[in-house]
């Protein structure tokens, strides 16, 4: 019964972990360019005295769903979405290059180009800084051009170009900030084939129906494990009564 209690306990624990991950996906169903976390269970043998004749389930995160979530039009000049595969480059706390597809761009108080959560967007020379302007355009290749304040209608100036990259997705992982990094490198090569669409934002690729179904299934699994633990307790109490003098 001790083995059964251990297996039921670990099953309930792992089901709870998987529920937390599913809840995280559901909470980000409307987040811009969010990539859903994947989950799976794996059988692990219980080692101890004798042969490992029993197994328990272990929840793990094998990766992330990197498919395109589609895009929605906004009509805003600073909103961009990546067409097909590819990433924009931002910077981590230690200066390492990280990847994002979130394109709700804005200017902070210093004129630096960031996205909606304050992540700095990198250009060819580092963080992109944009001087005061009357009109701004972002082309498909990421080139940012402006009409400076007080300039003629036909006068434009190129400020910088958003760095667009497309590394091998097999080497990518998501960090605690929701940004993607590479197991292989901290510096990414530019890819001229990655293109932007202006006036559009990428949607989350979370399937709400799929995640809700998974949540229901995990809740049932958790309930079964708790019932098994209760059954072990009842059997132990019955055995204690039988052994009483």
* 226 and 194 in a common domain: no
Examine the pLDDT at 1 and tell me if it is beyond 60: no
Q: Which residue has the tokens 């090569």?
A: 189
pLDDT, greater one: 111 or 59: 111
Examine the pLDDT at 239 and tell me if it is beyond 80: no
* 179 and 76 in a common domain: yes
* 43 and 81 in a common domain: no
Average pLDDT over residues 118-135: 93
Report the predicted TM-score, pTM, of the whole model to 2 decimal places: 0.82
**Structural domain tally of the chain?**
2
Over the stretch 62-74, which tens digit does the pLDDT of each residue have?
888 999 889 999 9
- Return mean pLDDT, the chain: 89
State the pLDDT at residue 62: 80
- Which of 172, 179, 198 minimizes the C-alpha distance to 83? 198
* 187 and 217 in a common domain: no
Q: What's the domain range around 234?
A: 2-66+205-243
* 85 and 165 in a common domain: yes
* 120 and 82 in a common domain: yes
Over the stretch 206-235, which tens digit does the pLDDT of each residue have?
999 999 999 999 999 889 888 888 887 777
* 182 and 81 in a common domain: yes
State the pLDDT at residue 2: 64
* 86 and 43 in a common domain: no
* DSSP string for 69-82: --EEE---TTBEEE
């Amino acid at each position: 019964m001790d083995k059964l209690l251990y297996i039921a306990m670990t099953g309930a624990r792992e089901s709870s972990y998987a529920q937390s991950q599913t809840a995280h996906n559901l909470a980000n169903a409307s987040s811009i360019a969010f990539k859903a976390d994947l989950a799976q269970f794996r059988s692990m043998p219980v080692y101890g005295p004798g042969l490992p004749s029993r197994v328990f389930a272990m929840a793990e995160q094998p990766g992330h769903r990197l498919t395109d979530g589609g895009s929605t039009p906004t009509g805003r000049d600073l909103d961009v979405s990546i067409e097909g595969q590819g990433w924009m480059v931002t910077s981590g706390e230690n200066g390492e290059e990280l990847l994002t597809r979130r394109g709700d761009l804005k200017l902070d108080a210093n004129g630096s180009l960031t996205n909606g959560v304050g992540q700095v967007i990198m250009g060819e020379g580092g963080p992109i800084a944009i001087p005061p302007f009357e009109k701004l355009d972002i082309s498909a290749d990421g080139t940012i051009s402006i009409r400076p304040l007080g300039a003629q209608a036909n006068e434009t100036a190129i400020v910088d170009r958003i760095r667009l990259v497309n590394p091998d997705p097999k080497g990518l992982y998501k960090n605690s900030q929701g940004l993607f990094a590479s197991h292989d490198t901290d510096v990414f090569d530019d890819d001229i084939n990655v293109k932007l669409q202006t006036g559009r934002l990428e949607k989350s690729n979370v399937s709400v129906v799929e995640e809700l179904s998974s949540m229901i299934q995990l809740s049932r699994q958790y309930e079964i494990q708790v019932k098994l633990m209760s059954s072990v307790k009842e059997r132990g109490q019955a055995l204690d009564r039988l052994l009483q003098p």
